[in-house]
Structure 1
């Protein structure tokens, strides 16, 4: 048996495992779809998932085993963003997780009831039917199912409303605390050169960090649970159509994160340029007379900011357009292959309509998860830039103080020992004595 014959046998076995046996009588255009949906796309998805998992494990192992030293820990701030968020909102995070999990069965009802309405209330001749021991006709049964669907929609809306309002409360509460921590650290810094740079930090750079505090655990659980619930519903209707929903996912997992890393690098450059511009404007404000040559560095900063932001816009809109195009390819498989299954009697029309409606909701949580990844990376950059800003300030102050107090006749090696004593280098991690705001 040749390798090609073994491959075709494998495809037939996989298709039979999904409950679909196709033969030579099946139209020729169906065969490539079966190969793509049941063999090629799952193999690529497993490969990409394994690669991402291994890379994540290696990165985590390297991060834990690479010593990183800070001059002094910032009071009230942990070494990582997750630790800081969980320290000040642990109970609120647990409550939001519970509310998010309650939304999953309600979501499944909103997907199942439209199928029941089409198949059992509209496209059925078995009336009257017994409901709770009473016989009802077709119109009453239709109104009953529509009432249950309306109730499920209301419950789903109330759940999302309550969760979003509580998320806003958690975000604003954490933002206020985080601003106080940063402000207190700035007030305790004797270096007055950082006065101008604290304005964009407190006004702009901490804002996304506060908003992300409410989504750090809730959003991946809510959107990931929504994604799994919709995917489970699709597989219940038809395993082949459920597998078709994952066809373009490997391409999204490969391309979108790489493009997003370029956006993150540009965001880091933009933050540095804004700080540099603030430093230049502060120096000009402290001059009694306006220096005409001061327009040159400010104009260069304006041009650099415009250049960086144009690159960010181009990449962001390209990512959005690519994601929309890949998401729109899956309904093509549903209409073509799913329509053929309806004609052949494999699935009902109501099931196909329900799968199409579910996939419309399927792309939304997938986009939210990609946006979460983008926001996570951007927020980590901001958090790292803020902590690095204060650490550099602390180190510069320590160096200046050591230069003012050390004797003039000591050697350079001894001066280095005085500037950087071994006891002042601490391993990065949560401080043992944090002062709460």
Structure 2
């Protein structure tokens, strides 16, 4: 038996294990789909997943084995972004994780009930049916399932609303503390008068870090759980169609991170250019006079910023277009192969409709996870740049002690039961603790 014959037997065995026996009577166009879905795509996915896992383990081992030069460049902040976020929002993170996990069974109901409505409530040949010991006709049964579906939608919406609102509170609270720590470090620096870059740091660069603090654990758990729930639902309807949903995933895992690393490098360049521009403008302000020669470097900085931003836009939109194209390929497999399965009687029309609807929701958490990876890399760059900005700065003990005392008093005041109002500069951060 040749190697090609063994390969064909392997494909037939895998298809039979998934409950689909196809033979020479099967249309020729089905065979390459089966080979792609059941053998080639899973093999590529396993290879890519193994490579990423090994690379992540080696990267983590290298990070832990390398001694940190500046473990805590800013008092109150850890050397790692994750450690800093968990240090100040551990309890809030645990609560958000619990709320995220509650959303999974509700999500499964929103996927299962439409299939039940199409297959059972619209089937007029099996009524009346018994529900809780009572016989109901077709219209009542339809309204009952629709009511359950509406209830599941309402619960899902309330869960997302409460989670998003609480995430906003956690983000604002962490952002306020992070800004205060950076500002305290700036005050304790004897050369702070020359650090004109502190304005864009406090106003712009810390903003994404505060927003990411609420998503650091919740988003991957919520979106990853959503992805696994939808994928499990697809496999329950039909294992072949469930495997088809993963066909383009290896390509996305290979191409998108590489393109994102180029965007990250450009983001780092943009941050440095903005700071350089701040230094030039600060020097001109200290001169207290208009210097025509100062226009040339400022104009060059503007031109370089425009050039970098254009590169970032081109890469970001190319990543988005590529991801949308790859995501749109999977419904083609569902319509062609899934439609053939409906004609054969392998699956019901309601199951195919449910799989199509589930895949529409399947692409959303996948995009969120890729966006999380992009945000993670961008935020880590910003956090590293901010901590590196103060890494070589001196410290003034008197100012530092005064700021430590102020932070302690502010913390005590926040926990005091006498507090009734929110101070103007606090935003909505304290609502998270109420």
TM-score by length of 2: 0.90
Partner of 1:108, secondary structure, is helix
Q: Give, in whole Å, the separation in 1 of the partners of 2:72 and 2:366.
A: 40
Q: Residue in 2 aligned with 1:176?
A: 176
Q: Is the 8 A contact 2:70 2:79 kept in 1?
A: no
Q: Give, in whole Å, the separation in 1 of the partners of 2:146 and 2:72.
A: 62
Q: Is the 8 A contact 1:209 1:382 kept in 2?
A: yes
Partner of 2:391, secondary structure, is helix
Q: Is the 8 A contact 1:119 1:348 kept in 2?
A: yes
Q: Give, in whole Å, the separation in 1 of the partners of 2:23 and 2:296.
A: 74
Greater RCO structure (CA 8 Å; 6+ sep) = 1
The alpha carbon displacement at 1:194 in A equals 3.9
Q: Residue in 1 aligned with 2:67?
A: 67
Q: Is the 8 A contact 1:259 1:319 kept in 2?
A: yes
Q: Give, in whole Å, the separation in 1 of the partners of 2:68 and 2:172.
A: 31
Is 2:211 the partner of 1:204? no
Q: Residue in 2 aligned with 1:352?
A: 352
TM-score by length of 1: 0.90
Q: Give, in whole Å, the separation in 2 of the partners of 1:377 and 1:12.
A: 43
Q: Residue in 1 aligned with 2:417?
A: none
The alpha carbon displacement at 1:393 in A equals 2.6
TM superposition outliers: structure 1 runs of 4+ over 6 Å: none
Matches within 5 A, 1:292-371: 292-371=292-371
The alpha carbon displacement at 1:68 in A equals 2.8
Is 2:110 the partner of 1:110? yes
Q: Give, in whole Å, the separation in 1 of the partners of 2:298 and 2:74.
A: 32
- Closer, same or farther: CA 72–62 of 1 in aligned 2, 3 Å: closer
The alpha carbon displacement at 1:71 in A equals 8.4
The alpha carbon displacement at 1:14 in A equals 0.6
Q: Is the 8 A contact 1:71 1:391 kept in 2?
A: no
Q: Is the 8 A contact 2:71 2:79 kept in 1?
A: no
Q: Give, in whole Å, the separation in 2 of the partners of 1:192 and 1:373.
A: 34
Partner of 1:329, secondary structure, is helix
Q: Is the 8 A contact 1:230 1:359 kept in 2?
A: yes
The alpha carbon displacement at 1:66 in A equals 1.6
Q: Give, in whole Å, the separation in 2 of the partners of 1:73 and 1:357.
A: 49
The alpha carbon displacement at 1:72 in A equals 6.2
Partner of 2:67, secondary structure, is coil
Which stretch shows the higher mean deviation, 113-122 or 70-79?
70-79
Which stretch shows the higher mean deviation, 263-272 or 282-291?
282-291
Partner of 2:25, secondary structure, is coil
Q: Residue in 2 aligned with 1:51?
A: 51
Q: Deviations over 1:374-411 (max 9, x none)?
A: 0000000000000000003339x9xxxxxxxxxxxxxx
Q: Is the 8 A contact 2:186 2:192 kept in 1?
A: no
Q: Give, in whole Å, the separation in 1 of the partners of 2:76 and 2:105.
A: 39
Q: Is the 8 A contact 1:259 1:315 kept in 2?
A: yes
Q: Is the 8 A contact 1:71 1:394 kept in 2?
A: no
Partner of 1:130, secondary structure, is strand
Cα root mean square deviation, aligned: 1.3
Is 2:100 the partner of 1:128? no
- Closer, same or farther: CA 71–175 of 1 in aligned 2, 3 Å: closer
Gaps of 5+ in 1: 398-434
The alpha carbon displacement at 1:70 in A equals 2.2
Is 2:19 the partner of 1:26? no
Aligned length: 399
Q: Residue in 1 aligned with 2:279?
A: 279
- Closer, same or farther: CA 385–23 of 1 in aligned 2, 3 Å: same
Q: Give, in whole Å, the separation in 1 of the partners of 2:59 and 2:160.
A: 35
Q: Is the 8 A contact 1:37 1:243 kept in 2?
A: yes
Q: Residue in 2 aligned with 1:162?
A: 162
Q: Deviations over 1:176-224 (max 9, x none)?
A: 0000000000000000354310000000000000000000000000000
Q: Residue in 2 aligned with 1:42?
A: 42
Q: Give, in whole Å, the separation in 2 of the partners of 1:229 and 1:341.
A: 23
Q: Give, in whole Å, the separation in 2 of the partners of 1:219 and 1:370.
A: 11
Q: Deviations over 1:280-322 (max 9, x none)?
A: 0000001122110000000000000000000000000000000
Q: Is the 8 A contact 1:72 1:394 kept in 2?
A: no
The alpha carbon displacement at 1:226 in A equals 0.2
Which stretch shows the higher mean deviation, 284-293 or 29-38?
284-293
